[in-house]
Chain A
Amino acid sequence: MQDFLEKCFESILQGDKEGAVKLAKESIELQYDPLKVIDEGFVKGVKRVGELWEEGTYFLPELVLGAEAMKAALSVLQPILLKKNIQREKTSKLLIGTVQGDIHDIGKTIVATMLQAHGFEVIDLGVDVPNHAFVQKAKEQKVDFVCMSSLLTTTMQNQAKVIEELAKAKIRENLKVMVGGAPTSQDWAKQIGADLYAENAVEAVNVAKSALQH
């Protein structure tokens, strides 16, 4: 089985979506433990892809290809886990969007894809999301995280407004708020009362995972 897990790892490293799906299907036919295939094969691969990007070896499209391959493999294996009633490590439901007045899309989508690749259930509200829509959806879906992106100095204030509205709706204590985007920073996050700040997609996964452990 070690060789098989190695192939799963390699498919993610190569960003080979078709290969990863094929291996996921093969693992079902071979009746391998799906949890082992995910955690010791595919997840190991997506973690390594993140490291390779962070250390400056991989370029952004390579990081994305790895995450896309991971997502595709998970989509094959997750129904099997559900069917067998097997629980993976604790992950959560996460709401993400670009704040009102800002239509930057691609950075937010990369973050969403990376989080999905790491097993988070992601609800992507898109761009130019009204403040009340974040609050309404967070309430409706009982999410664990609200993640907001803002690429403009003129719109970053909306991150603060959403936090205020979450408090008014009495759900602020039930969830973590993560902010990101070029003009934001750790200091900004602290200033507006956000729990988490991430500079990039890999960091977003790391801080979300670490928040789950606390």
Chain B
Amino acid sequence: MLKILKKIDLTIDEEEILRLLAHHKRKEETIKTKLLNLIKETKALSKDMLHPQGMFKIVDKMALKEGPYFRGEDMIALGLCTIGDELENKVSQLNQQGKLAQAVMLDAMGSVAAESTADFLNLQVCQWCQKKGLGSSQRFSPGYGDWSLEGQRFIFSLLPAERIRVKLNPSCMMIPRKSVSFAIKIGEEFKSLKTKKICETCNLKNCPYRK
């Protein structure tokens, strides 16, 4: 089963943007007006630059025989989404114009938007599982935890990524950069699973963005 979603409504969580832009020792102090104005201004700028779209596919164990990482699974969902390349082109442009602070802000906004798009797809997968009386694991992506970045090739071999204009470069980096790929394990055993925070399962303990 393949589902492609070309229209996705996004909500950009400002607190999440601030989390990405804060030092990990962030003090809970009042945010200065200048910074809030920069967020407001950048949010307005990004409004027409976000083009979220995505897809997910339910893959059964026949297809999984080929993938080294999921050999033991009966069924998984693979997802891929993007916000397009307009925002990151604008980031480069701002950078070249010497407006680095705004470029940094816009880049963070793009990251939040891409994750929010992935959240939307994730929800679709959960709803599909619920209808089938199945459970689902949390989502995880190549390059995180013990799944190597080369896992991207497995995802891209099973999804028609070109239909949302996402491609992989030879280093397994997705282009546009603000794209997210992921897998979700599906099965009865996940129905009663208590969901851990996504960062708790990752080995990158000193990651500055660890939640």
Residues of chain A whose beta carbon lies under 8 Å from any beta carbon of chain B? 14-15, 53-62, 64-65, 67-68, 101-106, 109-110, 113, 152-155, 182, 185, 199-200
> For the complex, what is the distance from the CA of A166 to the CA of B35, rounded to whole Å?
42
Dominant secondary structure at the A interface = loop
Residues of chain B whose beta carbon lies under 8 Å from any beta carbon of chain A? 18, 21-27, 29, 31-32, 34-35, 38, 91-92, 95, 98, 100-105, 107-108, 143, 148-150, 169-173, 175, 177, 204, 206-208
The interface residues of chain B lying within 8 Å CB-to-CB of A102 are 171, 173
B23 with A54: CB separation less than 8 A: yes
The interface residues of chain A lying within 8 Å CB-to-CB of B102 are 61
The interface residues of chain A lying within 8 Å CB-to-CB of B206 are 185, 199
> For the complex, what is the distance from the CA of A14 to the CA of B171, rounded to whole Å?
40
A57 with B29: CB separation less than 8 A: yes
> For the complex, what is the distance from the CA of A103 to the CA of B201, rounded to whole Å?
27
Contacting residue for A154 out of B26, B29, B31, B150, CB 8 A: B150
B25 with A55: CB separation less than 8 A: yes
B22 with A15: CB separation less than 8 A: no
A68 with B101: CB separation less than 8 A: yes
Asked if A59 meets B35 with Cβ closer than 8 Å, knowing A103-B173, A152-B173, the reply is yes
A200 with B208: CB separation less than 8 A: yes
The interface residues of chain A lying within 8 Å CB-to-CB of B25 are 54-56
Asked if A53 meets B23 with Cβ closer than 8 Å, knowing A61-B35, A61-B38, A182-B207, the reply is yes
> For the complex, what is the distance from the CA of A65 to the CA of B105, rounded to whole Å?
11
Contacting residue for B27 out of A57, A110, A200, CB 8 A: A57
B146 to chain A, nearest CB (A): 12
Contacting residue for B169 out of A55, A60, A103, CB 8 A: A103
18 cross-chain CB contacts under 8 A: A54-B23, A59-B18, A59-B21, A60-B22, A62-B34, A64-B101, A101-B169, A101-B171, A101-B173, A103-B169, A106-B107, A109-B95, A110-B100, A110-B104, A113-B100, A154-B173, A182-B207, A199-B208
The interface residues of chain B lying within 8 Å CB-to-CB of A110 are 100, 104
Asked if A61 meets B105 with Cβ closer than 8 Å, knowing A56-B23, A154-B171, the reply is yes
The interface residues of chain B lying within 8 Å CB-to-CB of A104 are 177
> For the complex, what is the distance from the CA of A103 to the CA of B173, rounded to whole Å?
8
B72 to chain A, nearest CB (A): 24
The interface residues of chain A lying within 8 Å CB-to-CB of B95 are 105-106, 109
The interface residues of chain B lying within 8 Å CB-to-CB of A153 are 143, 148-149
The interface residues of chain B lying within 8 Å CB-to-CB of A154 are 149-150, 171-173
A55 with B150: CB separation less than 8 A: no
The 6 closest A-B pairs by CB, nearest first: A101-B171, A56-B25, A61-B101, A56-B26, A60-B21, A154-B171
The interface residues of chain A lying within 8 Å CB-to-CB of B175 are 103
B104 with A68: CB separation less than 8 A: no
Asked if A152 meets B35 with Cβ closer than 8 Å, knowing A56-B22, A104-B177, A182-B207, the reply is no
**4 new A-B pairs (CB below 8 Å) besides A56-B25, A60-B23, A199-B208?**
A60-B22, A62-B101, A101-B170, A103-B175
B107 to chain A, nearest CB (A): 5
A105 to chain B, nearest CB (A): 7
B91 with A106: CB separation less than 8 A: yes
B150 with A105: CB separation less than 8 A: no
B209 to chain A, nearest CB (A): 9
The interface residues of chain A lying within 8 Å CB-to-CB of B169 are 101, 103
A60 with B143: CB separation less than 8 A: no
Candidate in B18, B92, B101, B206 with the most chain A CB atoms within 10 angstroms: B101
Smallest Cβ-Cβ distance to A55: which chain B residue: B25
> For the complex, what is the distance from the CA of A68 to the CA of B97, rounded to whole Å?
12
B172 with A106: CB separation less than 8 A: no
B150 with A68: CB separation less than 8 A: no
A15 with B23: CB separation less than 8 A: no
The interface residues of chain A lying within 8 Å CB-to-CB of B103 are 106, 109
B25 to chain A, nearest CB (A): 4
